[in-house]
Amino acid sequence: MRVSRVLSGVVFTVVAAVAGGAEQDDPGAAPILWKGVEVVTNDFDSIERIRGATPLPANSLLTVSDPKLRVACDAVRNRFPSSRIECSHAIEPAKSGRPEAWFVVEVDMPATASLRCLPGARLDPRLVALSQQWLSAAAKPESSGEATGFVNDRNYFDYEEVRLRAIAATLHTATRDRTVEVEAGAVSCNPLERMHSLYLMGFTGDPQRFVTMAAVHVNDEHAGAANAAARFLTTFAEFIDVQDVPHVANEVCKGVLEGNFAARKRSIGMLSQLQETGALPFAQLPSRCQQQLRNIARTSVALPAKELVSEPVRKQPS
């Protein structure tokens, strides 16, 4: 019998625009500790110049609606008038004490390409409702702390907590004979249906069927769908067949090569987990992706790429 492994999903930073649109945050919110400026660009030689042109000292205490953030973005735009500048902030949830954030400046990054969808593809609203019920329940576990799940011996996502285990069993019963429909939902033009379809794939009991499709949606323009795809691949890493590794590597690396801050963070988090499980070693990544990760590790102050590019110390045979 295969031993189930406890896995946690990839944790992602929430990114919100601070320039070029109205803020949706509460202007009266408590100040946040701004750890510094993260520059996202493929021109790695210019990163320090861009960071130096951003008048936002590290460890500043500001609310997300503070005018100084807009002033900082305008300063970069004035310094580099021929470049396309997008500013945002990445807030890291506070485990204790004050929340922390990075001020993110993206320079000349390509726009996210939309994935092709099929107008007639739909996901049964009853399946959407079940998926939403699970998401709501998992967000509020009965026990203290985060609800941690595992892949059980029937190859679907499960929990130790009784209430969540019952919901997982219901989802498995509802999806195990509807894999074609779940798969079709992933190409729906409704992004929420795509997201729920990608989550439901983890309850069908046939995860290997969905590996290549989930890999494509790691680059979905809808953050919820992209995060669901990332969670699926890292949770079911052991079901990635050898022949699918190049496809998965190429899709995940798109986020590293072409993506914005959120996409880079998602891809690096995935690659770290896939490397830990042995499903996708660093050496099996395309050479261009390896070089990009080394550049990010060298220049980034916010993305955890250094551990990824470091060669792991292998145990010597006794």
| Domain ranges (residues) in the chain | 14-107, 115-300
Q: How far is CA 112 from CA 222, 261, 301, in A?
A: 10, 12, 23
Q: Do residues 221 and 115 make contact, with C-beta atoms less than 8 angstroms apart?
A: yes
CA gap 165, 294 in Å, rounded: 41
Position 257 confidence tier, pLDDT thresholds 50, 70, 90: very high
Structure tokens at 36: 């510094």
Tell me the pTM: 0.84
Structure tokens at 16: 């919100």
Position 7 confidence tier, pLDDT thresholds 50, 70, 90: very low
Per residue in 114-127, pLDDT tens?
788 888 889 999 99
CA gap 274, 272 in Å, rounded: 6
C-alpha distance across the termini of the chain, in Å: 29
Per residue in 45-100, pLDDT tens?
999 999 999 999 999 999 999 999 999 999 999 999 999 999 999 998 766 678 89
Arch. (CATH architecture) of 14-107 = Roll (3.10)
| Residue closest to 67 by CA, chosen among 78, 81, 55, 59 | 55
Structure tokens at 124: 């049964």
Q: Do residues 263 and 111 make contact, with C-beta atoms less than 8 angstroms apart?
A: no
Helix (H) or strand (E) holding 93: none
Position 13 confidence tier, pLDDT thresholds 50, 70, 90: very low
CA gap 178, 185 in Å, rounded: 11
Per residue in 190-224, pLDDT tens?
999 999 999 999 999 999 999 999 999 999 999 99
Q: Do residues 64 and 18 make contact, with C-beta atoms less than 8 angstroms apart?
A: yes
> What strand order describes the sheet that includes 32-40?
14-17, 85-92, 100-107, 32-40, 60-62
Q: Do residues 76 and 10 make contact, with C-beta atoms less than 8 angstroms apart?
A: no
Arch. (CATH architecture) of 115-300 = Alpha Horseshoe (1.25)
